[in-house]
Chain A
Amino acid sequence: MTEPQTQNGALVAIDGLKKYFPIRKGVLAREVARVHAVDDVTLSVAEGETLGLVGESGCGKSTLGRCIVRLLEPTAGDVVFDGKSIGHLKARTLRPLRREMQMIFQDPYASLNPRKRVGTIISDPMRIHGIGDRKERKRKVEELLETVGLSPEHYNRFPHEFSGGQRQRIGVARALALRPKLIVADEPVSALDVSIQAQMVNLLEQLQDEFRLTYVFIAHDLGVVRHVSDRIAVMYLGKLVELSPAEELYSRPIMPYTEALLSAVPVPDPDLADQRERIVLEGDVPSPINPPSGCRFHPRCRYATEVCSQIEPPLVDYGNGHLAACHHPLNVDRETLARVQASPAHTPEAADETALPRDPGKEVARPVPRPE
């Protein structure tokens, strides 16, 4: 298991990152509102680690991913990559760093240029960065094709000659071409059949060992993420709401949103599916233009009380690198609670205790900001 939240040894450190998109109207293009896509997220990714980033559409996970590789410039906050602050670098100074971080995109049909041959698609990053001569690049591409499970004869083919899963492999080969340290994979398997998803997940894991890669793996489905991640971050409406070592998130989720996400994953077992109580989240993610007050999840949360609509819960460290932002944490026992409460900082007057989940063993924690 990876050390939680240490700044040293971290390949990527995201610090108070915010990304707002302005909405402009009128002749003067005055800014009338802002989309709060990512709102004050702090986390770090250690070298060689896989961080899963999970949430529904519109929660800001892709925006965060794009800010990490600086396809987008953050509105506020910073991204430190390999010890260098890159949050606000100019394009020119950023360029040499682009080699170190690559991206795999969701849609294998849209992310490959249909008019270029596979060989060109994969070798272009090397050409742009001036690596090797033409012959050498060709040799490397053929090597890469083999690494990702395609055949070197595919060099001269066009993307339309491949199936979805094969195209995604081409996307992976392109990302690997520059031997990056970090790969941000934005829903790399969501567009694929279940059987092909498993192939991709296994391939990504194998490549991680082979090339000592660090992954940020973005997905909306907690099922796939479990297999690749060391740690998982759950986002909701631009906020980081839970961060946990992977297995722990599945055995004891703290945030009710995580609980609901877990219960939404279909179980391929008719009896179990009948037995288990499914928490169906009503409605959609609210608009990030005017996010709800207090805890942003409260309008859809079944444990929500008055305090949730007024006070935004801070991220609390419950030990073992498990952080969550909730007024009514689940699966927190008395001991952990006491420890959390013993820390010096205090929150505003907390929850209405009668409205809490009353399952035995699930005690009420009074959330306290993470000790600095």
Chain B
Amino acid sequence: MAEKLLEVKGLKVRFATEDGVVRAVDGVDFDLERGKVLGIVGESGSGKSVTAMTLLGLTRDKNTRFEGEVRYRDQELLSLPESRLRDVRGNEIAMIFQDPMTSLNPVYTVGDQIVEAITTHEQASKSEAKRRAVELLRQVGIPNAQTRVDDYPHQFSGGMRQRAMIAMALSCNPDILIADEPTTALDVTIQAQILELLDRLRADFDSAVILITHDLGVVAEVADEILVMYAGRIVERGGKRQVFYDPQHPYTWGLLGSIPRLDRPKPEKLHSIEGTPPSLINLPQGCKFRPRCPHAFEKCMEEPELKNRVESPGHFDRCWLSVEDKRRLRESTIAGEARVA
């Protein structure tokens, strides 16, 4: 059994705002083992980014309340003082942000920014750090790394900036790499390159990766385990094959059905999940997906818990429907044919 790096238990994050309390994350549990890729999937506002940022203490604020436990090796990250957390952040847990255009500082060269990351955490001379920066850029596939290291971010293309971000994140050999929508702002061709790179680096650096995305297609290639999040909770959790081949939650079906598939004949109409995600201030009663769920019935007024309902262990979901009903009902949605009334 691989080393367990991260253990999240009953994580809740609430923000006090003028309009009321936003329950951004409402009871999330998961584990992460070394060398594994965990995919977190959900729409905007499902709490996936807040979960990731909380791990690094990036959501700390006087208006934020946390509950639960985030255990990284033998440290409790939620209660760790900021000064100690700073040693973990970037050094042992690193993050890649969505938008490579805004997450690099435009007035420093790419090399300087990587050097800064290295010298902050390690006793390395500037020239030594620079040498490592060049090596990292080469590893992430930047051509002419030796000269490009002195370029400014605006001289890089979108794909190259994202590579530079990854190089920076890897600079201290982190145990955990959190990639928050790393490919959303990029072309599909560049997305393919970046996913390939993440997969290779996971093997080379033996890190664990948390990959956050709204596109199930992206995690199909690289993830080992998948969490599907909706309205701040996990609605389905399981191994990649379990979630893709035996999806249990209607929300997962909807996500699967709304991807335009090139490997299948073109459906008459794309399936779409009607409506929008609920307000996190006034959550609906019972199952949070109920108002948008075409299969909702009376029992859904009560919230189902996340538990193992299928035969295979390690596959959890939050839906009252019986497993047989689910297997019968889901096909049309996933095929993208269902016309939801």
Contact = CB atoms under 8 A, between A and B. Distances in A.
A271 B44 CA distance: 28
B201 interface: no
A94 B240 CA distance: 55
Contact of B241 (A196, A199, A270): A270
Contacts of B215: 194, 266
B187 interface: yes
A282 B141 CA distance: 9
B263 A284 contact: no
B218 A201 contact: no
Interface residues of B, number: 46
B221 to A, nearest CB: 5
Nearest to B334: A268
B272 A269 contact: no
Interface in A186-221: 193-199, 201-202, 205, 220-221
Interface string A48-73: 00000000110000000000000000
Interface stretch (B6-14, B157-165, B305-313): B157-165
A199 B157 CA distance: 31
A164 interface: yes
B217 A261 contact: no
A280 interface: yes
Contact of B259 (A165, A262, A268, A282): A268
Interface string B233-246: 00000001100110
Interface string B192-209: 110110000000000000
B73 interface: no
Nearest to B222: A273
Interface size bucket, A side?
Answer: 35 or more
Contact of B220 (A226, A263, A268): A268
A194 B187 contact: no
Interface in A72-129: none
Interface of A is mostly: helix
Contacts of A272: 263
Nearest to B240: A270
Residue among B158, B260, B266 facing the most chain A CB atoms (10 A cut-off)? B260
B187 A57 contact: yes
Contact of B260 (A166, A223, A271, A280): A223
Interface string A160-178: 0001111000000000000
Interface string B112-139: 0000000000000000000000000000
A284 B191 contact: no
Given A269-B220, A269-B263, A284-B159, A198 B44 contact: no
Given A193-B214, A223-B261, A261 B188 contact: yes
6 contacts: A163-B45, A194-B216, A267-B217, A267-B220, A268-B217, A270-B220
Interface of B: 43-45, 143, 157-160, 187-193, 195-196, 214-218, 220-221, 240-241, 244-245, 254-263, 266, 269-274, 276
